[in-house]
C-alpha cells in the first residue's frame, strides 16, 4: 500500500495547494484595512515583543539592513501608540551584537520627535564555570548573581508632538512618553534558565557547606519567576509580532517561536501576517539570489503593526476561568 499510496498523496497535495491558493487570494481581496496607528482601540499592549525571523537565503548585510529598518519603525510606532515596553528578539543575536548601532539608529535626526537614548547596558551573566568543582576554589559569600543577557535602552518622545490615542502611555516630568527597549536573543531563553539553575545549585551547595542542609530543597514558581522576570530578568510580553525577514518563504510553512524565552510567553498573544509576499519567491526563482534577496526581504510594515494591534484589541482573555 505504501508505494501505491504515493500518487494519491501527491494528488492530495495538489488539491491542497489549489485550496490554499484560492483561500489566500480570497483573504487578500476581502482583507479589511486596519485602523490607523493612532486610532482608539479597546486595549493596547503595555509590553510588545517583536520576534524577527532571519533566513539563510537572505545575505547578512541585507538582513541587518532590514532589521535596523524594522527596529527604527517599531520604536517610532510604539512611542506613537503609547506602548511602554518593547522587546526585540532574534534567534541568532544579530540585534544584540548591533545594540550600539541601534542606539545610533533611533537617534533624533531621522525621526520627527526628539528622542533621548540612555546609555545601553549590555548585561551578561557571570556564569558559574561548567568545569569540575574544586574543593580548593573559594566562593564569594554572596554566591553567584545572574542576569538575563539583554541590552537595555530607553527612548522618550515629547507628548505634544504625538496625537492622542494610546491608553497606557507613561508620562515623565516633562510630559514625554517613555519606551523601554530590551534586546534579547535565544540566550535569554532556555540557556538562561539553565544558568539560573546552576546558580541556584551553587547557592544550595554553599548552604550545605555552612551546615544548612538541602535535603528538603524546594523551588517555588514564585521564586523562579523572581529570578527570570525580576529587575535583572525579562518581563513577559503581552503581545508578540512575528516578523520574518523572508516572508515569501516563511509564510509557506507553519508558525514557530524560534527559541523565544519560554517562561515569558505564558499568556502572550501571537500575531503573524501570513499573507505577505506569499508567492513572490516562486515568481522570482530565475533571478540570482543576491537580486532576489533585495526583492524578497522585508522590514516591518505599518500595515502589519496596525493589523497586529487590531488583533490584540479584539482578543478575549479568560485566565483559566
Partner 1 sequence: MRPAASAFPMFLVSVLVSFLSFILHGFAFLCRKLKLTLLAQRFFLRVLSAGPIPQHVAFIMDGNRRFARRRRWQVKDGHGEGYLALRRLLEICLRLRIRCVSVYAFAIDNFKRSPEEVDALMQLAESKLLELCEHGELLDKYGVRLNVIGRTELFPENLQAAVRKAEDITRNNSRSILNLCMPYASRDEITTAVEDSVREALVLHSTKLSTTSRENLGNEMDTLSHMDITEETITSHLMSMKRGSPPLDVLVRTSGATRLSDYMLWQGCEDTQIHFSNVYWPDFGLLDFVPIILQWQRSVWFGTRQKPVTNHRSPEVRTLRGRSAERKGIGTRLEVNKSY
Task: Name residues contacting partner 1, limited to 28-57 (CB under 8 A).
Answer: 29
CA-to-CA separations, 231 to 140, 226, 264, in angstroms, rounded: 22, 8, 14
**Which secondary structure element, helix H or strand E, spans residue 285, and what is its range?**
none
Choices 82-90, 253-261, 279-287, 294-302 (CB under 8 A): range interacting with partner 1? 253-261
Task: Kindly tell me which of 77 and 192 has the beta carbon lying closer to partner 1.
Answer: 192
Task: Kindly tell me which of 22 and 40 has the beta carbon lying closer to partner 1.
Answer: 22
Task: Kindly tell me which of 157 and 271 has the beta carbon lying closer to partner 1.
Answer: 271
Give the three-class secondary structure for 308.
Answer: helix
Selected from 162, 196, 234, 309, the binder of partner 1 by CB under 8 A is: 196
Contact 149, 97 (CB under 8 A): no
Selected from 105, 111, 123, 193, the binder of partner 1 by CB under 8 A is: 193
Taking the complex as a whole, how short is the minimal distance between the CB of residue 113 and partner 1, in angstroms? Answer: 32
Q: Which residues, 6+ apart, have CB-to-CB distance to 24 below 8 Å?
A: 275, 278
Give the footprint of partner 1 on residues 9-28 (CB under 8 A): 9, 12-13, 15-16, 18-20, 22-23, 25-26
Task: Kindly tell me which of 54 and 113 has the beta carbon lying closer to partner 1.
Answer: 54
Contact 64, 94 (CB under 8 A): yes
Closest-CA residue to 243 (of 273, 214, 221): 273
Selected from 34, 120, 158, 191, the binder of partner 1 by CB under 8 A is: 191
Give the footprint of partner 1 on residues 205-224 (CB under 8 A): 205, 208, 214, 217-221, 224
Q: How far from the centroid of its chain's Cα atoms is residue 238's Cα?
A: 11
Task: Kindly tell me which of 157 and 264 has the beta carbon lying closer to partner 1.
Answer: 264
Size of residue set near partner 1 by CB under 8 A: 71
Give the footprint of partner 1 on residues 257-296 (CB under 8 A): 257-263, 265-271
Closest-CA residue to 72 (of 113, 38, 36, 122): 113
Contact 280, 295 (CB under 8 A): yes
Choices 34-42, 68-76, 171-179, 251-259 (CB under 8 A): range interacting with partner 1? 251-259
Burial 271-300 (b: 16+ CB within 10 A, else e): bbbbebbbebbeeeeeeeeeebbeebbbbb
Task: Kindly tell me which of 103 and 198 has the beta carbon lying closer to partner 1.
Answer: 198
CA distance 11 to 18: 11
Instruction: Kindly calculate the radius of gyration of the chain based on its CA atoms and give it in whole angstroms.
Output: 23
Task: Kindly tell me which of 42 and 116 has the beta carbon lying closer to partner 1.
Answer: 42
Taking the complex as a whole, how short is the minimal distance between the CB of residue 286 and partner 1, in angstroms? Answer: 18
Taking residues 78 to 117 in sequence order and writing x for each that binds partner 1 by CB under 8 A, - otherwise, the string is ----------------------------------------
Give the footprint of partner 1 on residues 116-155 (CB under 8 A): 128, 130, 132-133
CA distance 197 to 128: 10
252 touching partner 1, by CB under 8 A = yes
Choices 95-103, 149-157, 175-183, 202-210 (CB under 8 A): range interacting with partner 1? 202-210
Taking the complex as a whole, how short is the minimal distance between the CB of residue 266 and partner 1, in angstroms? Answer: 5
Choices 73-81, 99-107, 109-117, 182-190 (CB under 8 A): range interacting with partner 1? 182-190
What interhelical angle do 60-81 and 302-314 show, nearest 10?
50
CA distance 292 to 257: 26
Amino acid at each position: 500500500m505504501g508505494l501505491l499510496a504515493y500518487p494519491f498523496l501527491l494528488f492530495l497535495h495538489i488539491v491542497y495547494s489549489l485550496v490554499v491558493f484560492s483561500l489566500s487570494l480570497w483573504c487578500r481581496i476581502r482583507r479589511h484595512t486596519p485602523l490607523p496607528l493612532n486610532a482608539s482601540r479597546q486595549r493596547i499592549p503595555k509590553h510588545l515583543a517583536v520576534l524577527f525571523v532571519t533566513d539563510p537565503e537572505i545575505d547578512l548585510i541585507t538582513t541587518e539592513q532590514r532589521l535596523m529598518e524594522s527596529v527604527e519603525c517599531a520604536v517610532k510606532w510604539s512611542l506613537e501608540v503609547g506602548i511602554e515596553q518593547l522587546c526585540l528578539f532574534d534567534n541568532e543575536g544579530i540585534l544584540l551584537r548591533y545594540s550600539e548601532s541601534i542606539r545610533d539608529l533611533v537617534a533624533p535626526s531621522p525621526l520627527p520627535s526628539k528622542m533621548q537614548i540612555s546609555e545601553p547596558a549590555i548585561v551578561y551573566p557571570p556564569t558559574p564555570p561548567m568545569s569540575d568543582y574544586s574543593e580548593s576554589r573559594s566562593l564569594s559569600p554572596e554566591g553567584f548573581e545572574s542576569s538575563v543577557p539583554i541590552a537595555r535602552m530607553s527612548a522618550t518622545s515629547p507628548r505634544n508632538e504625538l496625537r492622542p490615542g494610546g491608553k497606557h502611555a507613561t508620562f515623565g516630568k516633562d510630559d514625554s512618553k517613555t519606551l523601554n527597549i530590551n534586546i534579547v536573543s535565544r540566550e535569554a531563553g532556555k540557556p538562561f534558565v539553565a544558568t539560573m539553575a546552576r546558580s541556584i545549585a551553587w547557592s544550595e551547595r554553599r548552604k550545605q557547606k555552612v551546615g544548612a542542609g538541602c535535603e528538603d530543597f524546594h523551588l517555588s514558581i514564585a521564586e523562579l519567576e523572581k529570578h527570570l522576570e525580576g529587575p535583572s530578568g525579562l518581563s513577559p510580553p503581552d503581545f508578540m509580532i512575528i516578523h520574518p525577514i523572508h516572508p515569501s518563504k516563511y509564510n509557506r510553512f507553519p508558525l514557530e517561536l524560534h527559541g523565544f524565552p519560554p517562561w515569558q510567553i505564558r499568556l502572550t498573544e501571537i500575531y503573524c501576517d501570513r499573507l505577505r509576499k506569499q508567492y513572490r519567491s516562486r515568481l522570482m526563482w530565475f533571478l540570482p539570489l543576491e537580486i532576489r534577496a533585495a526583492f524578497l526581504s522585508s522590514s516591518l510594515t505599518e500595515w502589519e503593526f496596525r493589523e497586529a494591534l487590531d488583533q490584540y484589541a479584539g482578543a478575549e482573555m479568560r485566565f483559566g476561568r
